[in-house]
Every structure is written in structure tokens, then in C-alpha cells.
Amino acid sequence: MCGKRLKHALPLWLPHYHKHHEPVEEISAQLLAMSAATIDRLLKPIKSRYGKGLSGTKPGSLLRKHIPISTNQWDTSQVGFMEADTVAHCGTSLMGDFVWSITMTDIFSGWTEMRATWNKGATGVMQGIQNIEEHLPFEIKGFDCDNGSEFLNWHLIRYFTERTPNKPVQFTRSRPYKKDDNAHVEQKNWTHVRQLFGYHRFDKPKLAELMNDLYANEISLLYNFFYPCIKLIDKVRIQSSIQKKYDKPQTPYQRLMASNCLTLDQKKSLQEQFITLDPFDLQEKIQKKLKLVFRWVNVQNTKQRKAI
């Protein structure tokens, strides 16, 4: 988390600190008064570095003519317009079977959900998307994806467009080879998936089950209720440089509560859920479950080394 986001996260986290450690009022006050630049400077030596992974997108060319290219026709001032992408947990090779993560993020609020699937067949991906939709605190109005075959298939076309009595979901795709078209979800692939699981090869079906236990519970709650995100509101070119202006960092939960996009009952349900949550407790549970995930990864790696 960058300094700007962390500064706005501290007021959400510190009230829960006394449940786990002896509170020191003076230190708490200093943390809240610290600038974003100071936070970045202090954390710079301990921030982890990650490499680059492989792209697992295979074009789904047969159905392109049935799915229109996104042309900014969405009203992203409303909640429910989602970008989707997949992340390959393939290690250094795309050969063979391994786990994939499906990432979906709401453009307006930044609310993000992930699910893991063994390989990325159309049925498995659709089941993951269905499960995500069941857990969202709002209805999906639009679904935008890249040109991968895991998304451009009849299963998803029928799932989104043949809905009764609800309105069909607008199903669009990005331009080929234009990753910036799905910039919101591409960013979440890094912050919500890679920073947790890295670039290891997850080639055991059991790992998808363990990852989904994390994705649907602690990770969803921690990132959507306690991790602020920043939205770009303006970008101006001045000679050779580009100046960007961002809004105030807010969590997806805060953006939803401050909007007029949810009903009073939906807001009440979210608020009741938020009151029961403790970010330190969620973080502790995530670390325990991550250890179990990587125990399975290490077991597999050990077997491979012995076989060699």
C-alpha cells in the first residue's frame, strides 16, 4: 500500500489496535499526523519486489463479432459496471495444468472480488463469475473483459444476455492488445493477487480450493472494507509532462456508503457487516491460510526436486 492510501487507512485500523497490543496514545497520534511522503520514505527499505509474469491470454476470435468493443458507453458514475481478467499461476511455463485467478473489479467503487479455478475452461470460469456475483453487495450492470477465450464463449454470452426477469448485463470486450482498456482490473491483479501469491506455479487442484477460501472470506473483507483506493479524476499534458489529479483515497466500502447507488437496506447490511470486522484479525487469518497454501506449493516443489 502506498503512502497516500496508507495514511487514509490508519484511521480505520488504529481503533482496533488495542484489541491485539498495548496502545500507546502518543505513537498513535504521531502515526495519524505523519504525511504520506514520510510514510513512503520510511517503508521504502522493507517493500518487497516482484518480477514479471507470463501472459496467459489466448484470443477467442470466433465470437468477437457477437461481443461489441467497449466504447465508453457505460455510466461509471453508477455502481455495477465490472472489468474482468485472469491471472495465471503458472510459474515460468504456461504448459500443463495449473490454477488461474479470476479478478473482477467495479469501476465506480473499486470493489474487487477474486476466485480461483483449476485451468480456465469456460465452465470453471463461469462458475467462478457466478460465485463472485452472488457475493457482490450490488447488481452487475456491465461486464467488460479482454479477448481471451475464457471469456469470449457462448456460456458467458448466454449467462449475461439471456436474463429474465432482470435486465441483461451489457457484455463488452476491450480492443485486442490494448491492456490499458482494462486498467482498473489490471491494477487489482497486482495488488490483490500477485502481492499475495507471487509468481509461483500452483499445479495442484487443492490449491484452488485453499485460495477460494481466502478470496471469498478474509481477502474480500480486508481489501474492500479496509484498503483505500485512489481514482484518477483528471489528466493534463503540460508540454512534455503529464500532470495527474487524484481524488481522496477511500475504501470501496466508503465509496458505496457515500454514493446514492445502494438502497438503504443495502447500506444498512454493509454497515452492520463493517462493525463486526477487525482488520488485524483478518490479516492474521490471511497469514495463517497463506502458510497453508505455500506449504502445498513447497511440497510439490520438493517432489519435483527429488524426481530430478
Each domain of the chain, given as residue ranges in start order, spans 1-47, 61-228+278-307
Q: What does the pLDDT read at residue 172?
A: 85
Which residue did the predictor score with more confidence, 227 or 52?
A: 227
The region of weakest confidence among 24-33, 43-52, 136-145, 154-163 is: 43-52
Neighbours of 93 (CB within 10 A): 11
C-alpha distances (whole Å) from 228 to each of 78, 106, 110, 121, 268 are 19, 14, 9, 33, 20
Mean pLDDT of 265-274: 96
Chain centre distance of CA 96: 25
| CB-CB neighbours of 171 under 10 Å | 20
Mean pLDDT of 188-196: 91
d(CA 228, CA 299): 35
**Residue 242 is inside which H or E element, if any?**
strand 241-246
- The percentage of residues in the chain with a pLDDT greater than 90, rounded to a whole number, is 45
What is the total residue count of the chain? 308
Check residues 172 and 263 and name the one with the higher pLDDT. Answer: 263
pLDDT for residue 308: 32
Q: Using CA atoms, how far apart are residues 283 and 256, in angstroms rounded to an integer? A: 23
| pLDDT given at position 53 | 52
What is the sign, positive or negative, of the torsion defined by CA atoms of 177, 185, 134, 138?
A: negative
Rounded mean pLDDT of the chain? 82
Query: According to the model, what pLDDT value does residue 24 have?
Result: 65
Give the span between the Cα atoms of 15 and 279, in whole angstroms: 10
pLDDT over 60 (residue 280)? yes
pLDDT number for residue 62? 43
* Sign of the C-alpha dihedral computed for residues 214, 280, 274 and 87 taken in this order: negative
Cβ neighbors of 159 (< 8 A, separation 6 or more) are 126, 129, 130
Instruction: Say yes or no to pLDDT of 290 above 50.
Output: yes
Q: Is the pTM for the entire model greater than 0.85?
A: no
As a whole number of angstroms, the distance between CA 53 and CA 91 comes to 8
Q: How many of the other CB atoms lie within 10 Å of CB of 24? A: 12
HEC string of 46-115 equals HCCCCCCCCCCCCECHHHHHHCCECCCCCCCCCCCEEEEEEEECECCCCCCCCEEEEEEEECCCCCEEEE
pLDDT confidence band for 207 (50 / 70 / 90): very high
Q: What 8-state DSSP symbol labels residue 230?
A: -
Rama region for 275: left / alpha / beta (φ>0; ψ in -120 to 50; rest): alpha
Question: Strand 112-118 relative to strand 99-106: parallel, antiparallel, unpaired?
Answer: antiparallel
3-state secondary structure of 188: helix
Bigger pLDDT: 99 vs 62: 99
Predicted local distance difference test score (pLDDT) of residue 293: 94
User: What pLDDT is attached to residue 281?
Assistant: 95
pLDDT at 92 over 90: no
Give the per-residue pLDDT at 64. Answer: 45
Among the CATH numbers 3.40.50.720, 3.30.720.210, 3.40.50.2020, 3.30.420.10, which is that of 61-228+278-307?
A: 3.30.420.10
Could you tell me which residue, 111 or 14, shows the higher pLDDT?
111
